[in-house]
Amino acid sequence: MFVWRRRVFDRSDDYNWDNAMTPLPIPIDADRFWLRLMAMAEIGKTPGGGVRRLALTDEDRAARDLLSEWFGAVGLRVRVDDLGNMYGRRDGADPDAPPVVIGSHLDTVPTGGRFDGALGVLGALEVVHALNDTGIRTRAPLEVVNWSNEEGARFQPAMLASGVIVGALPLEAAYAARDSTGRTFGDELERIGYRGGAGDRLAQCAAYVELHVEQGPVLERAGAQIGVVEGIEGISWNRVEVTGRAAHAGPTPMADRRDALVAAARLVLLLRDAAQALERVRLTVGRLQVSPNTINVVPGAVEMSLDVRSPRGDGLDAALRAADQACRQVADLDGVTVRRAEFWRSPATPFAERVVEAVASAASRRGYTTKRLWAGAGHDAKYVADRFPAGMIFVPSAGGLSHNEQEWTAPEDCVRGATVLLDTALALAGIVV
């Protein structure tokens, strides 16, 4: 039996679980949650056991229709904004309070898994359902969100809709984004019937919390059940041009060569060493274009990509300084010229301390093992954090696999994640009992 005591928390940040005497812990219905996850995974199901549900396709429409039906069944008031973001609202006791927003995305990459995105949306839906079952009323309203086109697999850039909401991207650019067949985001949104009004956008938000699979091996390796995400790492994308001299592979003596590929190979290794010498920095060369790329010609030029990631504010710049040092070293050793140019940067985004601490204390009160970490991939929470207090909850990905049909998160991990989401949302929204 639960012990009830009437109390209104008028400030979410002074909420204290120990004094609350609220009907806790509220359970997540594990079977219902799992059935919904698996039912959603049927839409766009691939023969390999994954999901292909690209943004604004017929599959995405079917997923949205099903979500809309589920929103209605738990009494959420549904609205759709001009980017196709879907919101389901559960009123709070204070009609003027800005909502606590929970959710994620339902679109996937072409050979995606069943949990990336869907876990956060359906976990949020389950939170509302569990509150309904228990008869809990919150002070602030709760809103469940499904963001459009998070993956960027069909329309670039990724996180396009949340980007427009926070003003990082103009609406016209989003509407004009084209897929590989030339269809635009705006037209496809219209076609699937999910173009709502600008007045329906998320305008106020007390806090945003996103439950997501980790997509990496850190939690599993650490034996931690819940990842308390402290922020999203900064990313810098660079183009590196190594220019030597093309020459005949036969008559040109080894000592006379200015081989751009030999220099590039050396640079790849030096960049790896540089990253290892720095703290919490990752440097990746993922693409090489060798010119002229012919069997009997000493390579004259190589264009390389360089992806730099770091959670620290000054981490990207420190890594790029080390990269430039490596470029100079290679230029001296191999008689080539090396030029590096950054063409895109997304700075490191720390999450709001209040939200991060709410996640950490929700997890520890349930007795779950936790690990603090930074997200190495982009998420809508990154853009939301530019404007509103935001945070994320991670649960383990088996083998660290994601963006893969074999992606797997165990049912008990899904339930633990939704449970932390529930307690975090309650702590932030405040309870009226």
Q: Which residues contact 180 (CB under 8 A, 6 or more apart)?
A: none
Output the 3-class SS for 380-419: HHHHHHHHCCEEEEEECCHHHCCCCCCCCCCHHHHHHHHH
Q: Which is nearer to Zn ion, 116 or 188 (CB)?
A: 116
Q: Does residue 167 come out as left (phi exceeding 0), alpha (psi in the -120 to 50 range) or beta?
A: left
Q: Which is nearer to Zn ion, 9 or 394 (CB)?
A: 394
Q: Which residues contact 397 (CB under 8 A, 6 or more apart)?
A: 115, 213, 214, 215, 216, 217, 219, 220, 407, 408, 409
DSSP state of 140: S
Q: Cβ(312)–Cβ(350) under 8 Å?
A: no
CB of 106 to Zn ion, least distance (A): 10
CA 134 to chain centre: 31
Cα(74)–Cα(72) distance, rounded to whole angstroms?
A: 5
CB of 153 to Zn ion, least distance (A): 11
59 binds Zn ion (CB under 5 A): no
Cα(174)–Cα(185) distance, rounded to whole angstroms?
A: 7
Q: Cβ(274)–Cβ(322) under 8 Å?
A: yes
| Subset of residues 348 to 367 that bind Zn ion, contact rule: CB under 5 A | none
CB of 119 to Zn ion, least distance (A): 9
Q: Which is nearer to Zn ion, 15 or 33 (CB)?
A: 33
| Subset of residues 71 to 130 that bind Zn ion, contact rule: CB under 5 A | 116-117
Q: Which is nearer to Zn ion, 24 or 414 (CB)?
A: 414
CB of 67 to Zn ion, least distance (A): 16
Closest CA to 86 of 108, 64, 70, 119: 64
Q: Which is nearer to Zn ion, 98 or 152 (CB)?
A: 152
List the Cα angle 163/306/210 in 5-degree steps.
35
Cα(34)–Cα(122) distance, rounded to whole angstroms?
A: 9
| Subset of residues 278 to 307 that bind Zn ion, contact rule: CB under 5 A | none
CB of 364 to Zn ion, least distance (A): 25
Q: Which is nearer to Zn ion, 168 or 297 (CB)?
A: 168
CB of 105 to Zn ion, least distance (A): 6
Q: Which is nearer to Zn ion, 158 or 327 (CB)?
A: 158
DSSP-based three-state secondary structure for 52: coil
CB of 202 to Zn ion, least distance (A): 18
CB of 219 to Zn ion, least distance (A): 16
Q: Cβ(416)–Cβ(368) under 8 Å?
A: yes
Count interface residues toward Zn ion (CB under 5 A).
2
DSSP state of 197: B
Q: Which is nearer to Zn ion, 190 or 386 (CB)?
A: 386
Q: Which is nearer to Zn ion, 116 or 233 (CB)?
A: 116
Two structure tokens written together for 274: 């540089």
CA 324 to chain centre: 30
CB of 151 to Zn ion, least distance (A): 7
Cα(270)–Cα(55) distance, rounded to whole angstroms?
A: 39
CB of 97 to Zn ion, least distance (A): 28
Q: Which is nearer to Zn ion, 116 or 230 (CB)?
A: 116
User: Which residue ranges make up the site for Zn ion (CB under 5 A)?
Assistant: 116-117
